[in-house]
C-alpha cells in the first residue's frame, strides 16, 4: 500500500525514518512531505494514489477526501478530529484513527501554567523587573484553597484536575458522563451553572463539535465570579471570544489564559483577545512538548501498523 505523511510531525527526521522503516520493510511505499499546505489542490495531489494518509492538524476537508480514490484510512496525529472531512470519510468508509492521550500531560501542565501566570501576574512582573520598576501592584493570588471547575472531564480534564489538586485546590466538574476515574481524582460533579457560580478558576476541556461550538459565551461568563479566571486549552471555537474579551474588559471576570482561538495562529491584529485586559495568550502550544511529539509520532505509526494488520486502534466514531 502507499502511505503518505502530508506534514511534519514535530520530531527529528531520524525518528520518522526509524518508524517508517518498518512499513517499507513490509513492502509498503512511504512518502513524506516536509512542509504542510492548506491548498486543497496540493493536498489532493499529495493524496493521489494513497491508501493511507497521515496528517496532524492540517485541515483535510471533504472535497480532498472525496478526491482520494484509493483512500482507506486517515491517520490523524492529534486528539481532535474537527479539522477532518468526516462526512466524506463516513460516506466512503474511510477509517479515521486519532492519537488520543498523547498530550494529556502537556496540555494539563500548560493549563496550570497559564493559571499561575495570570494569578501571579508573571508577564507584568517580568516587564516590571526589566524596566526598573518595583513589585507595586503585582500582589498575586494562590491556587491553594481555591475552587477549580473542570468543564469536560475526559483524560485531559482529569489530568488537569489532578495537577490543580496537587496545589491544594478544591475540584468541581461538569460532564455528560460522571466517570469513576474523575471522582477518584477528587472531582465533585455539579451542573454547569453551579460550577460557574462557585469556581475561582474555570478550565475548559471539551471537544469541538456541532453541540459545543460557541456554547460558552456571554450567558456563561455572566454567571462566573468577578474574581474568576477562565482557561481554554481545548478548542477556540467552543467559546464566543468576543464575549470573553467583553467580560475581561468590563471586569466581569478577572483574567484569562488562552491557548486556542477561532483560527490557527498567526492571529489577526484586530482579534478582540489581543486587546483585552488581563489575558495571557499562547499560540496553540498546549499540545507541543518534546515528549508529547515523540509519543504522538509513535502512536500515529502504530495506528497505521495496526490498521494494516487488520486490527485498527484508536478508531474514531464518525
The Cα–Cα gap between 156 and 233 comes to: 10
Domain assignment present for residue 315? The answer is: no
| Percent of the chain residues past pLDDT 90, beyond the cut | 100
| β-pair type (201-204, 147-151) | parallel
What's the CATH number where 118 sits?
Answer: 3.40.50.720
Residue 7 lies in a domain: yes
Q: How far apart are CA 175 and CA 114, in angstroms?
A: 22
Residues 206 and 234 in one domain: yes
Q: Evaluate whether residue 72 is within a structural domain.
A: yes
The one catalytic residue in 146, 155, 284, 296 is 284
Q: What is the share, in percent, of the chain residues with pLDDT greater than 70?
A: 100
316 belongs to a structural domain: no
**Residues 141, 22: one domain?**
no
* Predicted pLDDT at 294: 98
Pull the grid cell for residue 81. 478530529
Residue 314 is assigned to a structural domain of this protein = no
Question: How many domains does the chain divide into?
Answer: 2
pLDDT at 298: 99
Longest CA span, the chain:
67
In a domain, 126, yes or no: yes
For residues 47 and 117, membership in a common domain is answered with no
Name the β-bridge partners of 54: 5, 75
pLDDT (average), residues 123-132: 98
Q: Can you point out the beta strands (E) in 131-194? A: 147-151, 170-174, 187-189
Give per-residue pLDDT as tens, 68-87. 999 999 999 999 999 999 99
- Whether residues 83 and 209 fall in one domain: no
Calculate mean pLDDT across residues 89-113.
Answer: 98
In this structure, are 96 and 133 located in the same domain?
A: no
SS3 assignment, position 2: strand
CB contact at 8 A, 252 and 229: no
Residue 207 lies in a domain: yes
Query: What is the C-alpha separation between 254 and 118, in angstroms, rounded?
Result: 9
Report the pLDDT value the prediction gives residue 275, as an integer from 0 to 100: 98
Q: Could you tell me the pLDDT band of residue 94, with boundaries at 50, 70 and 90?
A: very high
Q: What pLDDT does residue 171 have? A: 99
According to the model, what pLDDT value does residue 170 have?
99
Q: Is there a single domain that holds both residue 110 and residue 90? A: no
Q: Would you state the cell numbers that stand for residue 278, as one nine-digit string?
A: 488581563
Distances (CA, A) of 290 to 100, 106, 282, 286, 287: 17, 10, 17, 12, 10
Residue 160 lies in a domain: yes
174 within 8 A of 199, measured Cβ to Cβ = no
Same domain flag for 145 and 260: yes
Given a contact cutoff of 8 angstroms between Cβ atoms, the answer to whether 154 and 176 are in contact is no
Confidence of residue 20 (pLDDT cuts 50, 70, 90): very high
121 has catalytic annotation: no
User: How do residues 288-318 score in pLDDT, each as one tens digit?
Assistant: 999 999 999 999 999 999 999 999 999 999 9
The pLDDT tens digits for 162-211 are 999 999 999 999 999 999 999 999 999 999 999 999 999 999 999 999 99
Choose, from 121, 146, 155, 235, the residue flagged as catalytic.
Answer: 235
Go through 4-24 and write b for each residue having 16 or more CB atoms within 10 A of its CB, e for each that does not: bbbbbbbbeeebbeebbeebe
pLDDT of 101 reads: 95
Indicate if 78 and 193 belong to the same structural domain: no
Residue 293: predicted pLDDT: 98
Is the pTM higher than 0.85? The answer reads: yes
> Is 112 found in the same domain as 82?
no
Place of cell 516536509: 34
DSSP string, 80-109: --TTB-HHHHHHHT-EEE--TTTTHHHHHH
In this structure, are residues 192 and 155 in contact, taking their beta carbons and an 8 Å threshold?
no
* 230 in the same domain as 163: yes
Do 31 and 114 lie in one domain? The reply is: no
Please state the rounded mean pLDDT for residues 6-22.
98
Q: What is the mean pLDDT of residues 236-245?
A: 98
> CA dist 105 to 54, 72, 78, 165, 286, Å?
23, 31, 14, 14, 10
- 264 is a catalytic site residue: yes
C-beta separation of 216 from 188 below 8 A? no
Q: For residue 17, indicate whether it is catalytic.
A: no
Domain holding 157, by residue range, is 104-281
Examine the domain organization and report whether 153 and 97 are in the same domain.
no
Amino acid at each position: 500500500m502507499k502511505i503518505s505523511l502530508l506534514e511534519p510531525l514535530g520530531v527529528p527526521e531520524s525518528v520518522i525514518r526509524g518508524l517508517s522503516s518498518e512499513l517499507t520493510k513490509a513492502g509498503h511505499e512511504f512518502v513524506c512531505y516536509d512542509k504542510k499546505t492548506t491548498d486543497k489542490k496540493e493536498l489532493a495531489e499529495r493524496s493521489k494514489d494513497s491508501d493511507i494518509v497521515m496528517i496532524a492538524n492540517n485541515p483535510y476537508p471533504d472535497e480532498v477526501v472525496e478526491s482520494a480514490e484509493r483512500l482507506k484510512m486517515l491517520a490523524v496525529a492529534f486528539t481532535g478530529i474537527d479539522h477532518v472531512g468526516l462526512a466524506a470519510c463516513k460516506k466512503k468508509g474511510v477509517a479515521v484513527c486519532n492519537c488520543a492521550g498523547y498530550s494529556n500531560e502537556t496540555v494539563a501542565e500548560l493549563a496550570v501554567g497559564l493559571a499561575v501566570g495570570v494569578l501571579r501576574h508573571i508577564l507584568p512582573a517580568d516587564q516590571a523587573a526589566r524596566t526598573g520598576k518595583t513589585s507595586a501592584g503585582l500582589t498575586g493570588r494562590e491556587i491553594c484553597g481555591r475552587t477549580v471547575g473542570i468543564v469536560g472531564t475526559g483524560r485531559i480534564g482529569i489530568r488537569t484536575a489532578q495537577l490543580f489538586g496537587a496545589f491544594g485546590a478544591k475540584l468541581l466538574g461538569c460532564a455528560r458522563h460522571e466517570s469513576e476515574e474523575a471522582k477518584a481524582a477528587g472531582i465533585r460533579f455539579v451542573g454547569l451553572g453551579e460550577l460557574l457560580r462557585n469556581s475561582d478558576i474555570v478550565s475548559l476541556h471539551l471537544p469541538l463539535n456541532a453541540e459545543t461550538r460557541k456554547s460558552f459565551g456571554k450567558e456563561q461568563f455572566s454567571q462566573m465570579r468577578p474574581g474568576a479566571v477562565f482557561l481554554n486549552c481545548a478548542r477556540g471555537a467552543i467559546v464566543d471570544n468576543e464575549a470573553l474579551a467583553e467580560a475581561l474588559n468590563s471586569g466581569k471576570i478577572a483574567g484569562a489564559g488562552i491557548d486556542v482561538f477561532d483560527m490557527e495562529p498567526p492571529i489577526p491584529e484586530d482579534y478582540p483577545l489581543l486587546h483585552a485586559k488581563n489575558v495571557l495568550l499562547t499560540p496553540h502550544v498546549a499540545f507541543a512538548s518534546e515528549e508529547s511529539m515523540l509519543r504522538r509520532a509513535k502512536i500515529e505509526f502504530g495506528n497505521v501498523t495496526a490498521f494494516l494488520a487488520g486490527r485498527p486502534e484508536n478508531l474514531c466514531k464518525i
